[in-house]
Copies of this chain bind each other. A is one copy, B any other.
């Protein structure tokens, strides 16, 4: 049987004080006389009393839970190093402030709504971290109009409409593309995620900017979109290979897409990087497992997640966050694929 649950009244009874005093001691209220404080703490220690988070939540109107909703099918989440890294880093930062993380996934628009409903309308979480924002994102409009605390990992326009933490996607893609051009590539392709995602568009923009800066004409046939599934990445690569001449370089939205594309290319006899160079994003562990090792743009995910978490908690607790929009730097890690 579960141990009968201890409450403050019980502690109070044993320590010979009022229940309010127990609460004060536990809250570190300084005006409790040292003697009582000791007596209370002794009983608390003795019995291993821990306050009930549910009661605290109701009373304080705060759950100390932050939410992360991932807009991917579970299968697509399973192999993605970006999310594992993100989740791990959020948990770690949240823990510093005694917050916990509640993760949910939602593939369909309908279940998305349901989850937002369930998570924030019910006040189950104190705030939300959003990822993979779209150009015009219902969630963001909703959260903003409800005045619910949230932080966006990514970008939204107007930029000062939301608190956001981001890397400079346009600049990073520009840099990576520029590198490909300077290493002699001319027919560079881009494989993004879903076309509606801001990150897909921003990196596409950076890619185009770099082409333009070098006077290389932009060819829309060399731009592909995927839904983050392995199959769609492979299909995109297959389609690129059917062009003639086919591309001599591929800039992919993330390492998983890059790896899938490389796989497909190798399967069709392409030599990497001789025939086609590949660059991914995130510098995930995956980069060193593939052959040739994948050149990738480092996005400091722990830093990104850390800033997002700190900002969100500040918001939740009514403190002024560091800044409305925070940018973390990126850098190209050169390996064998480009």
Interface residues of A (CB under 8 A from B): 1-3, 5, 48, 50-55, 57-58, 61, 63, 65, 74-75, 77-81, 83-85, 87-89, 91-92, 95, 98, 100-105, 111, 115, 117-119, 121-124, 146-148, 230, 256, 259, 263, 284-286, 288-291, 301-302
Chain B nearest CB, measured from A288 CB (Å): 7
Chain B nearest CB, measured from A292 CB (Å): 9
B74 and A302 contacting across the interface, CB-CB below 8 Å: yes
Which chain B positions have C-beta within 8 A of A102?
A: 65, 100-102
Complex Cα distance, B117 from A119, in Å, reads 24
Complex Cα distance, B118 from A298, in Å, reads 35
Q: What is the total number of copies of this protein in its complex? A: 2
Which chain B positions have C-beta within 8 A of A78?
A: 81, 84-85, 88-89, 284-285, 301
Complex Cα distance, B52 from A53, in Å, reads 15
- Considering residues A95, A230, A263, A301, which has the most beta carbons from chain B within 10 angstroms of its beta carbon? A95
Chain B nearest CB, measured from A256 CB (Å): 8
Nearest B residue to A50 via CB reads B121
B74 and A92 contacting across the interface, CB-CB below 8 Å: yes
A74 and B89 contacting across the interface, CB-CB below 8 Å: yes
Complex Cα distance, B1 from A15, in Å, reads 43
A289 and B88 contacting across the interface, CB-CB below 8 Å: no
Chain B nearest CB, measured from A56 CB (Å): 8
* Contact pick for A285, options B55, B79, B119, CB 8 Å: B79
A50 and B117 contacting across the interface, CB-CB below 8 Å: yes
